[in-house]
Amino acid sequence: FDFSLIKRTLLTQCVFPWQMSWRPQYRSSKFRNVYGKVANREHCFDGIPITRNVHDNHFCAVNTRFLAIVTESAGGGAFLVIPLEQTGRIEPNYPKVCGHQGNVLDIKWNPFIENIIASCSEDTSVRIWEIPDGGLKRNMTEAVLELYGHSRRVGIIEWHPTATNILFSAGYDYKVLIWNLDIAEPVKMIDCHSDVILCMSFNTNGSLLATTCKDRKLRVIEPRSGKVLQEASCKNHRVNRVVFLGNIKRLLTTGVSRWNTRQIALWDQEDLSMPLIEEEIDGLSGLLFPFYDADTHMLYLAGKGDGNIRYYEISTEKPYLTYLMEFRSPAPQKGLGVLPKHGLDVSACEVFRFYKLVTLKGLIEPISMIVPRRSETYQEDIYPMTPGPEPALTPDEWLSGMNRDPILMSLKEGYKKESKVVFKPPIKEKKNVVVNGIDLLENVPPRTENELLRMFFRQQDEIRRLKIELSQKDIKIRQLQLELKNLRNNPQNNGL
């Protein structure tokens, strides 16, 4: 026999395992090895009395110039505004923004004007503040705008992603108000929720608004009309937070499963009848905060009360969600601020940066998410064109029905450009706030003990003021009566 011929025949006819068409167990990804790097202690912010309020918000906002943190304060609500380069220990008497009469519940920087910040509070107001270029030198108590329209405390505020001077606020009166800051008035009211609104998120061009609510419903809303386009009743997945996943027409929610484990769910924004996938994360009780980076298609999940940040890669095809890695830290986080993309260090291949609030230490830690690359040149594949600090629409254009995608910019060569948008607050007269034919400031009975106490103290102040005014008028009347009596008793005036 010709054994060499038999061997060749067998080799040509056999199919070895490595020649088979099979799918690998992991997706090859350029972000597979992304890691989190905590800044050195001298580049952290230390000695900050971070608020101990239990409201489920981040209590932190950051842009390329300033870091803002809600702080403990007596006699009302306050927050700190610190220049990003002013790291290290913060003095106890550092100036504060302290104009609110109640606890500050949320703060957000204007995405197009870097020294304008909005805040909302338990005192039912939304306020707009203008921070000096070099930071605060003394306490700031006067806001450039005070916006009153909610009858309960205001828990969430969000700036529109493409239109300048459009602000959304959600209150415990179950309403979402849309403010046009050019006229300092609410121009629309969304009144489709039956309980407290937990979260708001916009799609890329701001034409859709997604909300989660305590009534266990996820809604996709057309904000200008207030029409609910899609609604999901989440019985098995109690939703807490929601985020739009860029332009891929997907939504991601975090919540709690029927077994009280932390869970995430992926939804098709055009069909909320059933989630595409549901995935249980762990058995911890803290809220899961989702953060999505549309440039890298990476999703970050940070647990409130623990120190972990998990990150995944999102794709449009199954399995949709691919686990990458986890950043671990023993220090629990109360909230996280996120730096805008045009503030990142592209020379270090930094693709995301968190500012982590560590309440127990009074510490703010920057955490950089870095793609390990050997080359020091600009990495275009991980830094595509990204939304910049220029608005695409005016308030009137957006309110009239126009939609535009964000104006993109390049991060190459450390792109820095001063925004040309300037905030000019209107002169506002006090008057009734009427939206959709409803007076938003009409008297509403208090629902909580704190609201009752605030109303009581306001009424006491009003009564005290009226008593002083009444006593002054009584004195004036008595003086006039004496002068009239003297005139009548004077013999020269008998003819009167």
Q: In the chain, what are the domains?
A: 35-237+327-430 (2.130.10.10)
Q: Report the pLDDT value the prediction gives residue 430, as an integer from 0 to 100.
A: 47
Question: How far apart (Å, rounded) are the C-alpha atoms in residues 4 and 403?
Answer: 72
Instruction: Annotate 278-297 with DSSP letters as a single string.
Output: EEEEES--SPEEEEEETTTT
Question: How far apart (Å, rounded) are the C-alpha atoms in residues 175 and 188?
Answer: 10
Question: How far apart (Å, rounded) are the C-alpha atoms in residues 251 and 212?
Answer: 12
Q: DSSP state, 393?
A: B
Length of the chain: 496
User: Nearest 5 degrees, angle CA 89-CA 93-CA 99?
Assistant: 120
Question: How far apart (Å, rounded) are the C-alpha atoms in residues 273 and 231?
Answer: 8
CA distances from residue 397 to 163, 370, 473 in whole angstroms, order as listed: 8, 39, 52
CA distances from residue 436 to 25, 189, 425, 439 in whole angstroms, order as listed: 55, 7, 24, 9
User: Nearest 5 degrees, angle CA 336-CA 269-CA 197?
Assistant: 50
Q: Which residues pair with 78 in a beta bridge?
A: 71
Helix, strand, coil % over all residues of the chain, rounded to 5: 15, 35, 50
Let me know how many helices (H) and strands (E) the chain has, helices first.
Answer: 3, 34
pLDDT digits (tens, 9 = 90+) for 113-140: 999 999 999 999 999 999 998 899 999 9
Strands 88-89 and 45-46: parallel
Q: Tokens 């011929």 map to which residue?
A: 5
Residues contacting residue 258 through CB under 8 Å, at least 6 positions apart: 236
Rounded to whole angstroms, the maximal C-alpha distance in the chain is 158
Nearest to 2 by CA among 470, 96, 14, 10: 10
Q: Report the pLDDT value the prediction gives residue 444, as an integer from 0 to 100.
A: 55
pLDDT digits (tens, 9 = 90+) for 15-51: 333 333 333 344 567 888 899 999 999 999 999 999 9
- Residue 243's CB: how many other CB atoms inside 10 A? 19
pLDDT in tens, the chain (496 residues): 444 554 444 444 443 333 333 333 445 678 888 999 999 999 999 999 999 888 889 999 999 999 999 998 876 789 999 999 999 999 989 999 998 989 999 999 999 999 999 999 999 999 999 999 889 999 999 999 999 999 899 999 999 999 999 999 999 999 999 999 999 999 999 999 999 999 999 999 999 999 999 998 999 999 999 999 999 887 788 899 999 998 899 999 999 988 889 999 999 999 999 999 999 988 888 899 999 999 999 999 999 988 899 999 999 888 899 999 999 998 999 999 999 999 999 888 999 999 999 998 899 999 999 999 887 788 888 999 999 999 999 999 999 999 999 999 998 865 455 556 667 777 655 445 555 555 555 555 555 666 677 677 778 778 888 888 888 888 888 888 888 888 887 766 655 5
- Residue 280's CB: how many other CB atoms inside 10 A? 12
Strands 97-100 and 125-130: unpaired
Q: The tokens of 17 are what? A: 């395992």
Query: What are the two backbone dihedrals, phi and then psi, of residue 48, each rounded to the nearest 5 degrees?
Result: -100, 120
Contact status, residue 430 vs residue 441, Cβ threshold 8 Å: no
